[in-house]
Amino acid sequence: MRRSRQIRTMAAQTNLPDAFLSIFTPAELRVIHVIFAAISADGRCTKRLDEIARLGETSRSTARNSIKKAVTHGLLERRERRFATAVSASNVLMAPAMGARNRDRVAVVAAVPLAG
């Protein structure tokens, strides 16, 4: 009962299709919201996993799993920045290039404050 109420609240706050709302848990949606806010501000998200988890008030594993799900379902694109001789930089997360419609969706999702 509580989960369906949380999902309805997130649905009212986001511009994501209903199909995505049924795939992600409320905690995973908070992570997606944090990532979209960074994409809206900078055109991409280069935050480290720890920071994304902290801002979304979730665990690292929840943040990692929600990013994997979003990439699998085509909501995000991930580019890894690995270095052979040094510590790897954070991954770059971007919204797929789907034209103005996707840019509008990212802007609307990022503009809505998280429910606390």
User: What Cα–Cα distance (Å) separates residue 21 from each residue in 32, 46, 89, 111?
Assistant: 11, 24, 30, 18
| pTM for this entry | 0.68
In sequence order, the 6+-apart residues with CB closer than 8 A to the CB of 111 are: 40
- The whole-number pLDDT of residue 64 equals 92
- The whole-number pLDDT of residue 53 equals 94
What are the extents of the domains in the chain? Answer: 2-111
pLDDT by residue for the chain (116 residues), tens only, comes to 565 666 556 555 556 666 677 788 889 988 988 988 888 888 888 898 999 999 999 999 999 999 999 888 888 888 776 666 656 667 788 887 644 445 555 555 555 555 55
2-111: CATH number: 1.10.10.10
- The whole-number pLDDT of residue 98 equals 47
**Cα 113 to Cα 116: distance, rounded to the nearest angstrom:** 9
